[in-house]
Amino acid sequence: VYDLAQVYVQRAGLRHFALPAMRRLATNIAETVFLGKIEQNGVRIVECIMDEGERPALRISAPRGTRVHLLAGATGRLVLASWTAAQREAYLKTHALPRFTKHSITDTQQFLHAVEEVARMGISVDREEYLDGVNAVAAPIRSANGTVVALLWIVGFASNFGGEAIEHATQQLHNEAETISRSLGASL
Protein backbone atom coordinates (compact mmCIF):
# COMPACT_ATOMS: atom_id res chain seq x y z
CA VAL A 1 0.00 0.00 0.00
CA TYR A 2 2.83 2.39 0.90
CA ASP A 3 4.54 1.80 -2.48
CA LEU A 4 1.28 2.43 -4.33
CA ALA A 5 0.79 5.63 -2.37
CA GLN A 6 4.29 6.82 -3.27
CA VAL A 7 3.67 6.14 -6.97
CA TYR A 8 0.45 8.17 -6.74
CA VAL A 9 2.25 11.05 -5.02
CA GLN A 10 4.93 11.15 -7.71
CA ARG A 11 2.40 11.03 -10.53
CA ALA A 12 0.00 13.52 -8.98
CA GLY A 13 2.79 15.97 -8.38
CA LEU A 14 3.62 18.52 -5.78
CA ARG A 15 1.23 21.13 -7.18
CA HIS A 16 -1.73 18.78 -6.73
CA PHE A 17 -1.12 18.62 -2.99
CA ALA A 18 -0.02 22.24 -2.58
CA LEU A 19 -2.76 24.12 -4.43
CA PRO A 20 -5.55 23.67 -1.84
CA ALA A 21 -3.21 24.81 0.95
CA MET A 22 -2.03 27.75 -1.13
CA ARG A 23 -5.61 28.85 -1.79
CA ARG A 24 -6.44 28.65 1.92
CA LEU A 25 -3.38 30.72 2.80
CA ALA A 26 -4.07 33.34 0.12
CA THR A 27 -7.65 33.70 1.32
CA ASN A 28 -6.86 33.72 5.06
CA ILE A 29 -3.77 35.94 4.90
CA ALA A 30 -4.90 38.10 1.93
CA GLU A 31 -1.42 38.05 0.37
CA THR A 32 0.36 36.21 -2.45
CA VAL A 33 1.49 32.63 -1.88
CA PHE A 34 4.29 31.01 -3.88
CA LEU A 35 5.38 27.41 -4.32
CA GLY A 36 8.94 26.85 -5.48
CA LYS A 37 11.20 23.91 -6.27
CA ILE A 38 14.83 24.08 -5.23
CA GLU A 39 17.34 24.09 -8.07
CA GLN A 40 21.12 24.26 -8.09
CA ASN A 41 21.36 28.06 -8.12
CA GLY A 42 17.95 29.20 -6.99
CA VAL A 43 14.33 28.47 -6.35
CA ARG A 44 12.05 28.10 -9.38
CA ILE A 45 8.49 29.35 -8.91
CA VAL A 46 6.08 26.59 -9.94
CA GLU A 47 2.86 28.18 -8.68
CA CYS A 48 1.60 31.58 -7.55
CA ILE A 49 -1.80 32.14 -5.90
CA MET A 50 -3.12 35.60 -5.05
CA ASP A 51 -5.99 36.50 -2.77
CA GLU A 52 -8.91 37.38 -4.99
CA GLY A 53 -11.15 38.62 -2.21
CA GLU A 54 -13.44 41.58 -2.47
CA ARG A 55 -10.91 44.01 -1.01
CA PRO A 56 -9.31 45.88 -3.90
CA ALA A 57 -5.57 45.99 -3.38
CA LEU A 58 -2.29 45.80 -5.20
CA ARG A 59 -0.67 42.38 -4.96
CA ILE A 60 2.77 41.01 -5.64
CA SER A 61 3.03 38.48 -8.44
CA ALA A 62 5.62 36.57 -10.44
CA PRO A 63 5.06 34.20 -13.35
CA ARG A 64 5.63 30.48 -13.10
CA GLY A 65 9.16 29.64 -14.11
CA THR A 66 10.70 32.72 -12.49
CA ARG A 67 13.94 31.89 -10.70
CA VAL A 68 14.61 33.46 -7.31
CA HIS A 69 18.30 33.84 -6.41
CA LEU A 70 19.52 31.07 -4.11
CA LEU A 71 20.63 33.52 -1.43
CA ALA A 72 17.53 35.72 -1.57
CA GLY A 73 15.85 36.59 1.73
CA ALA A 74 13.51 34.07 3.34
CA THR A 75 13.83 31.40 0.66
CA GLY A 76 17.62 31.53 0.59
CA ARG A 77 18.03 31.05 4.32
CA LEU A 78 15.51 28.21 4.24
CA VAL A 79 17.42 26.38 1.49
CA LEU A 80 20.74 26.75 3.29
CA ALA A 81 19.12 25.68 6.58
CA SER A 82 18.47 22.29 4.97
CA TRP A 83 22.21 21.84 4.33
CA THR A 84 24.90 20.76 6.76
CA ALA A 85 27.02 23.47 8.39
CA ALA A 86 30.00 22.35 6.28
CA GLN A 87 27.99 22.65 3.05
CA ARG A 88 26.83 26.15 4.00
CA GLU A 89 30.32 27.37 4.79
CA ALA A 90 31.80 25.84 1.64
CA TYR A 91 29.10 27.43 -0.53
CA LEU A 92 29.53 30.85 1.03
CA LYS A 93 33.30 30.71 0.53
CA THR A 94 32.72 30.65 -3.22
CA HIS A 95 29.51 32.73 -3.44
CA ALA A 96 29.41 36.28 -2.10
CA LEU A 97 26.25 37.39 -0.34
CA PRO A 98 24.51 39.86 -2.67
CA ARG A 99 23.19 43.20 -1.45
CA PHE A 100 19.66 43.13 -2.88
CA THR A 101 18.53 46.02 -0.63
CA LYS A 102 19.96 48.07 2.22
CA HIS A 103 18.43 45.47 4.58
CA SER A 104 20.21 42.47 3.01
CA ILE A 105 22.55 40.52 5.26
CA THR A 106 25.96 40.63 3.58
CA ASP A 107 28.17 39.59 6.50
CA THR A 108 28.85 35.84 6.22
CA GLN A 109 28.88 35.14 9.96
CA GLN A 110 25.68 37.11 10.53
CA PHE A 111 24.06 35.27 7.60
CA LEU A 112 25.17 31.87 8.95
CA HIS A 113 23.74 32.79 12.36
CA ALA A 114 20.42 33.71 10.68
CA VAL A 115 20.45 30.38 8.80
CA GLU A 116 21.04 28.50 12.07
CA GLU A 117 18.04 30.28 13.57
CA VAL A 118 15.92 29.25 10.55
CA ALA A 119 17.12 25.64 10.91
CA ARG A 120 16.09 25.71 14.57
CA MET A 121 12.69 27.38 14.01
CA GLY A 122 11.73 25.73 10.70
CA ILE A 123 10.48 29.05 9.31
CA SER A 124 12.22 31.99 7.65
CA VAL A 125 11.21 35.66 7.66
CA ASP A 126 12.46 38.34 5.26
CA ARG A 127 11.87 41.99 6.14
CA GLU A 128 12.72 43.93 2.98
CA GLU A 129 15.96 41.96 2.52
CA TYR A 130 15.31 40.82 -1.06
CA LEU A 131 12.98 43.52 -2.39
CA ASP A 132 12.48 47.03 -1.02
CA GLY A 133 9.06 47.42 0.55
CA VAL A 134 8.34 43.67 0.48
CA ASN A 135 8.27 41.18 3.36
CA ALA A 136 8.06 37.40 3.16
CA VAL A 137 7.77 34.33 5.33
CA ALA A 138 8.76 30.86 4.08
CA ALA A 139 8.46 27.23 5.19
CA PRO A 140 9.93 23.97 3.86
CA ILE A 141 8.01 21.14 2.20
CA ARG A 142 9.57 17.76 2.88
CA SER A 143 9.44 14.45 1.03
CA ALA A 144 8.92 10.99 2.52
CA ASN A 145 12.62 10.76 3.40
CA GLY A 146 12.60 14.16 5.13
CA THR A 147 14.49 16.02 2.41
CA VAL A 148 13.38 19.58 1.64
CA VAL A 149 11.94 19.29 -1.88
CA ALA A 150 10.12 22.60 -2.19
CA LEU A 151 9.35 25.85 -0.42
CA LEU A 152 6.06 27.53 0.36
CA TRP A 153 6.17 31.25 1.02
CA ILE A 154 3.91 34.25 1.50
CA VAL A 155 4.86 37.67 0.15
CA GLY A 156 3.30 41.06 0.79
CA PHE A 157 4.02 44.76 0.82
CA ALA A 158 5.70 45.79 4.07
CA SER A 159 3.04 48.46 4.62
CA ASN A 160 0.40 45.70 5.03
CA PHE A 161 2.41 42.56 5.73
CA GLY A 162 4.57 43.25 8.75
CA GLY A 163 4.63 42.73 12.51
CA GLU A 164 1.33 41.15 13.54
CA ALA A 165 0.41 40.12 10.01
CA ILE A 166 3.65 38.13 9.67
CA GLU A 167 3.16 36.54 13.09
CA HIS A 168 -0.40 35.58 12.14
CA ALA A 169 0.78 34.15 8.79
CA THR A 170 3.72 32.21 10.24
CA GLN A 171 1.70 29.61 12.15
CA GLN A 172 -0.77 29.07 9.31
CA LEU A 173 2.07 28.74 6.80
CA HIS A 174 3.90 26.27 9.04
CA ASN A 175 0.74 24.16 9.44
CA GLU A 176 -0.05 24.13 5.71
CA ALA A 177 3.56 23.24 4.79
CA GLU A 178 3.39 20.32 7.22
CA THR A 179 0.07 19.20 5.71
CA ILE A 180 1.60 19.19 2.22
CA SER A 181 4.69 17.37 3.52
CA ARG A 182 2.53 14.68 5.11
CA SER A 183 0.66 14.30 1.80
CA LEU A 184 4.06 13.62 0.21
CA GLY A 185 4.77 10.93 2.79
CA ALA A 186 6.83 12.87 5.32
CA SER A 187 6.47 11.88 8.95
CA LEU A 188 6.74 15.02 11.05
Residue 52 lies in a domain: no
pLDDT tens digits, one per residue of 115-153: 999 999 999 999 999 999 999 999 999 998 889 999 999
Note the pLDDT of residue 51: 78
Q: What domain count does the chain have?
A: 1
Residue, of 187 and 118, whose pLDDT is higher: 118
Q: What phi-psi label fits residue 3: left (phi over 0), alpha (psi between -120 and 50 degrees) or beta?
A: alpha
Examine residue 132 and state whether it is found in any structural domain, yes or no.
Answer: yes
Split at pLDDT 50, 70, 90, the class of 88 is very high
Domain extent, residue 85, equals 2-33+58-157+176-183
- Residue 54 is predicted with a pLDDT of 61
Is 44 contained in some domain?
Answer: no
Give the amino acid at 86: A
Question: Looking at the predicted structure, is the pLDDT value of residue 2 above 60?
Answer: no
Mean pLDDT within 70-77: 94
121 within domain boundaries: yes
Residue 58: pLDDT band by 50, 70, 90 thresholds? Answer: confident
Average pLDDT, the chain: 90
DSSP string for residues in the chain: -HHHHHHHHHHH-HHHHHHHHHHHHHHHH-SEEEEEEEETTEEEEEEEE----SS--------TTPEEETT-HHHHHHHHHTS-HHHHHHHHHHSPPP-SSTT----HHHHHHHHHHHHHHS-EEEESSSSTTEEEEEEEEE-TTS-EEEEEEEEEETTTSSHHHHHHHHHHHHHHHHHHHHHTT---
pLDDT at 10 over 70: no
CA dihedral 76, 78, 79, 81 (to 10 degrees): 120
131 within a domain of the structure (yes/no): yes
Q: Is residue 40 part of a domain?
A: no
pTM of whole model > 0.75? yes
Tell me, what CATH number does 115's domain have? Answer: 3.30.450.40
Give the residue-averaged pLDDT of 171-182. 96
CA proximity to 115, closest of 175, 68, 73? 73
